[in-house]
Amino acid sequence: MSRPGSPGTQPGPERTLPASTTGEAPVDVGTASVAPANPGQALAELLAGNRRFVTGAPRHPNQDAGHRAAVADGQHPFAVIVGCSDSRLAAEIIFDRGLGDLFVVRTAGHTIGPEVLGSVEYGVTVLGTPLVVVLGHDSCGAVQAARTADATGTPPAGHLCAVVDAVVPSLRRAAAEGVDDIDRIVDIHIAYTVEAMLSRSEVLAAEVAAGRCGVVGMSYRLTAGEVRTVAAVPVGAVDRPEPSASAALA
């Protein structure tokens, strides 16, 4: 049974993740008419775009007037990006993508609530997107704020409390593992977000278990511009998501 908005035939359970361990070549969405059909191809395409960004050779695909008109009647993004709201973490730029390629949801510290999970479920089930990426970054201000509030016992004012409360479980996990470095805590928080999404969203968990979607956690280096994988849930591993960055796939 095909899903509304999915490009072409619905992919089957033959999907694999991640591409970095399968050797799958990226599908050049900027020049090809077919978007990545499985999680491995989608991940490879993102990593290829990031390499172009890092090396200063971006193609800026799918950003011309012709493509703008082509996607006006419908969207078929190949990845859902749940990213931190940090102004230096614009997904379309760091992955060298364009209009209609990425379905982006952003909150401070990539914290997740019902609206975020609903947006992810929409991207995966309605739009047929084969990959979900949790995108964090080094020196994350939200993680630092949560760490300060937790250490001083002084909660921040207003709705920022919700962000801090969402990060605290990651701080507890880092403390249990003896991790004190802020960027390693960020990695743990990224991995925790991957785990939390799968445990809170039965819809997403079912898509992963069926082989229609993969979930990856990535950390972005602000100075170098590079992303690296710190957590991944391949097909069939939905009931055993990696609990921390210490066991993440590279």
What pLDDT is attached to residue 73?
A: 82
pLDDT in tens, the chain (250 residues): 334 443 333 333 333 344 443 445 555 444 444 678 899 999 999 999 999 999 999 999 888 888 888 888 878 999 999 999 999 999 999 999 999 999 999 999 999 999 999 999 999 999 999 999 999 999 999 999 999 999 999 989 999 999 999 999 999 999 999 999 999 999 999 999 999 999 999 999 999 999 999 999 999 999 999 999 999 986 334 333 333 333 332 2
What pLDDT is attached to residue 24?
A: 52
What pLDDT is attached to residue 220?
A: 98
Let me know: does 68 contact 75? Beta carbons within 8 Å: no
What pLDDT is attached to residue 1?
A: 35
Q: Is the pTM of this model over 0.95?
A: no
What pLDDT is attached to residue 37?
A: 85
Query: How crowded is residue 159: how many other Cβ atoms within 10 Å of its Cβ?
Result: 8
What pLDDT is attached to residue 66?
A: 85
CA atoms of 144 and 168, how far apart (whole Å): 11
2 Cβ neighbours under 8 A, 6+ residues apart: 9, 10
What pLDDT is attached to residue 235?
A: 36
